[in-house]
Amino acid sequence: MKTLLALWGLSVMLSAAEGGALYQKCAACHGAKGEKAALGKSEVIAGWKADKTLDALKGYKAGTRNTKGMGAIMKGQTATLSEGDMKTLSEYIAGLK
Ligand code: HEC
């Protein structure tokens, strides 16, 4: 039981670290804490619910989301992300404030 708990703790830590690593390339536009309107256009995404962010990222990747006329930029950003990456990122962003 202890081992299981330790493993669970470790995986939570690892996914937070992975989220931070994945988020690096987003920070240039969205801010280190998700506090900026990217390119003066996007909404501030810090603290967005993980579901909402995941939906948005999937939409950009699929090329179906374009709320500010700059969806093509986000399509490029999400092109190489797997669904797992997008989930990890969404959870990471939900924790930003
Ligand atoms: C080159 C600048 C740039 C980078 C880098 C970037 N974004 Fe964006 N992001 C934008 C812009 C511009 C929009 C608004 C797009 C539109 O018209 O819908 C946006 C929109 C979003 C939205 C939806 C916000 C809204 O207004 O609806 C989310 C969530 C998001 N980005 C997450 C990310 C994540 C996660 C990454 C890193 C993988 C990332 N972005 C990297 C510029 C960027």
Vertex 41 angle, CA 37 and 45, to 5°:
40
pLDDT at 5: 79
Q: Is 87's C-beta closer than 6 angstroms to any atom of ligand 1?
A: no
Domain ranges of the chain: 2-94
Can you list the residues of the chain whose pLDDT is less than 70?
Answer: 1
Is there a contact between 86 and 78 (Cβ–Cβ < 8 Å)? yes
Cα-based torsion angle of the residue sequence 57, 61, 64, 66 in order, rounded to the nearest 10 degrees: 60
Confirm whether pTM is higher than 0.85: yes
Fold held by 2-94: Cytochrome Bc1 Complex; Chain D, domain 2 (1.10.760)
Q: What is the pLDDT of residue 16?
A: 80
Q: What is the 46 CA–ligand 1 centroid distance (Å)?
A: 12
pLDDT of residue 96: 96
CB atoms inside a 10 Å sphere around CB 5: 9
Testing ligand 1's pocket by substitution, the residue of 54, 67, 73 carrying the most ligand atoms inside 8 A of its CB is: 73
